[in-house]
Each structure stands twice: as structure tokens, then as C-alpha cells.
């Protein structure tokens, strides 16, 4: 199975403009993501897809690969597809440019999931959610899993609702925004208009669920160091300091 990793990185983030270039321990965040991604076994390479010349140049300056894409892409997946539609491999892995502590082995688990089921069009990652603050935080996306880790729903709201069950000990998961797409499915996915639920939650994976596409998750440990706002930088730097070399 041929796989390629792509990192969409746009400049105009609503909550944190210029986020990919934010310095973490002296390095741009996008550099942390690329360097961690290059440790993933089983991929042909790592490509940054950006709408900003400054980001593209920063990636080239540290030796990475980057291409310019349109600023009109409605989602990260649409940006990834624009960057790779001329590639003829099997699986495209959509990484996140704001996860500087990306765990290579977790992504390898996702690749294993895709290799084990050639009929699976789309896979993703989930991690146990064990902090009530994260459960209630709309910046932390929750995913509800069914049998064989099939994704039933994704939401920024606290789901599933714990009517009688206590928080501790409940099977709750956070979504890790890493996706693996069959190339043929990504082409179809990006041709669909935005879904109703996707528009409400601002979660592009709901576009697939709304159309009945099965998404399965690999449940993995994840450091949970996503940077959504400027105030997240200090916490991310603490996580990065603790990473093994």
C-alpha cells in the first residue's frame, strides 16, 4: 500500500492567525509537525499544503516540501486534495498542522487499519478522554464509537450525554484530527458540497457521515497538545520538552 502524508496549513486561522509560524521552543510549529511526521514508517513522504507564501518558504528553509494551494479551499481535506490530485498512490494521510507533538506510531496504527480492510474508504484516530474539562471544551472534538470502532458521530458538544453514568469509567473518546483516505474516495469526498451538520459543527468529517460513509477509528494514546489559541503555546512547549529525543 502506497501512502503519502500531507499537512494542510493555512495562515488565516480565526482563533490564531499565522499559527503554523508560531514559535515553539524556538522553532515554527509547522517544523515540529513535519519533523515528527517524517518518523512515520510506511509513507512515501511528507508534504505541506498551504495558501501562504511565507509558510511555504519557511518549510523550504528547514528542508521540507511544500506547495501553494488556493486560499478558497473550504476545508483542510479540500486543500490536501488540491495538492495531491496528481499523485497516483493508494492512501492519503491528512495530518494536522497544529499538533506539534504528533505521535508517529499512532499514525502507523491508522495505516495498519487501512491496510487490513481494503474496503474501508476513510479512517481516523481517537484517544481516551479522561478529563472532564476536555469533555466540556468545544475546542476538543468528541467522537462516539460503535462496534469495531465505527464512528457514529463527531461533535464539539459533550457526547455521549451522561444522563445517569458517572464521568469516571465511562467510555469516552476525543477525536484526533488525523484522517486516512483512499485516493479514489478523497476525490469523491471533495466533490460533495458542505453538509448541513458539517456547517453547524464546523467538522468536515461529518460530510462523510451525512452521506452514509463508514469511518472507523484506531484508538491510540495521544499527547493531546493541539494548539488552537495563543494561550495554548505554553502548554504545548511543556509537552514538547518532555518528548523523547
- Mean pLDDT, residues 15-44: 93
- Residue 190, helix vs strand vs coil: coil
Which pLDDT belongs to residue 139?
87
Q: How far is CA 193 from CA 45, 196, 199, 202, 210, in A?
A: 29, 9, 10, 13, 11
Q: What is the mean pLDDT of the chain?
A: 93
CB half-sphere exposure, 86, CA atoms < 13 A? 2
| pLDDT 10s digits, 119-177 | 999 999 999 999 999 999 998 999 999 999 999 999 999 999 999 999 988 999 999 99
Q: For residue 240, which of 230, 231, 227, 229 has the smallest C-alpha distance?
A: 227
What does the alpha-carbon distance between residue 126 and residue 151 come to, in Å, rounded to a whole number?
10
- Residue 22 in grid coordinates: 508560531
Enter the pTM of the model.
0.93
- Residue 184 in grid coordinates: 479514489
Characterize 72-90 residue by residue with b for buried, 16 or more Cβ atoms within 10 angstroms of its Cβ, and e for exposed: ebebbbbbbbbbbeeeeeb
Which pLDDT belongs to residue 18?
86
> 240 and 145 in contact (C-beta within 8 Å)?
no
Q: Considering only residues 127 and 244, tell me which one the structure prediction assigns the higher pLDDT.
A: 127
Would you say residue 14 has pLDDT above 90?
A: no
Which pLDDT belongs to residue 74?
82
Q: Considering only residues 134 and 72, tell me which one the structure prediction assigns the higher pLDDT.
A: 134
Could you tell me the pLDDT band of residue 223, with boundaries at 50, 70 and 90? confident
Q: How far is CA 219 from CA 92, 107, 229, in A?
A: 19, 11, 26
Helix (H) or strand (E) holding 62: none
| pLDDT 10s digits, 196-222 | 999 999 999 999 999 999 999 999 988
Which pLDDT belongs to residue 142?
97
Which pLDDT belongs to residue 144?
98
Amino acid at each position: 500500500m502506497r501512502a503519502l502524508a500531507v499537512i494542510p496549513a493555512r495562515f488565516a486561522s480565526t482563533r490564531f492567525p499565522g499559527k503554523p509560524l508560531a514559535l515553539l521552543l524556538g522553532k515554527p510549529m509547522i517544523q515540529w509537525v513535519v519533523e515528527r511526521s517524517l518518523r512515520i514508517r510506511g509513507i512515501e513522504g511528507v508534504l505541506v499544503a498551504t495558501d501562504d507564501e511565507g509558510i511555504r518558504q519557511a518549510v523550504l528553509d528547514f528542508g521540507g516540501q511544500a506547495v501553494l494551494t488556493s486560499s478558497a479551499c473550504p476545508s483542510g481535506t479540500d486543500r490536501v486534495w488540491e495538492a495531491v490530485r496528481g499523485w497516483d498512490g493508494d492512501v492519503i494521510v491528512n495530518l494536522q498542522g497544529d499538533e506539534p507533538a504528533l505521535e508517529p506510531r499512532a499514525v502507523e496504527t491508522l495505516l495498519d487499519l487501512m491496510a487490513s480492510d481494503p474496503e474501508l474508504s476513510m479512517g481516523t484516530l481517537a484517544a481516551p478522554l479522561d478529563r472532564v474539562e476536555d469533555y466540556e471544551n468545544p475546542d476538543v472534538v468528541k467522537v462516539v464509537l460503535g462496534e469495531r470502532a465505527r464512528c457514529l458521530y463527531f461533535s464539539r458538544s459533550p457526547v455521549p450525554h451522561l444522563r445517569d453514568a458517572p464521568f469516571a469509567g465511562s467510555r469516552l473518546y476525543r477525536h484526533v484530527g488525523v484522517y486516512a483516505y483512499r485516493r479514489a474516495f478523497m476525490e469523491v469526498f471533495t466533490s460533495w458540497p458542505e453538509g448541513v451538520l458539517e456547517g453547524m459543527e464546523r467538522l468536515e468529517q461529518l460530510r462523510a457521515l451525512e452521506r452514509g460513509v463508514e469511518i472507523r477509528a484506531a484508538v491510540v494514546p495521544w499527547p493531546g497538545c493541539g494548539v488552537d489559541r495563543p494561550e495554548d503555546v505554553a502548554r504545548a512547549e511543556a509537552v514538547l520538552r518532555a518528548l523523547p529525543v
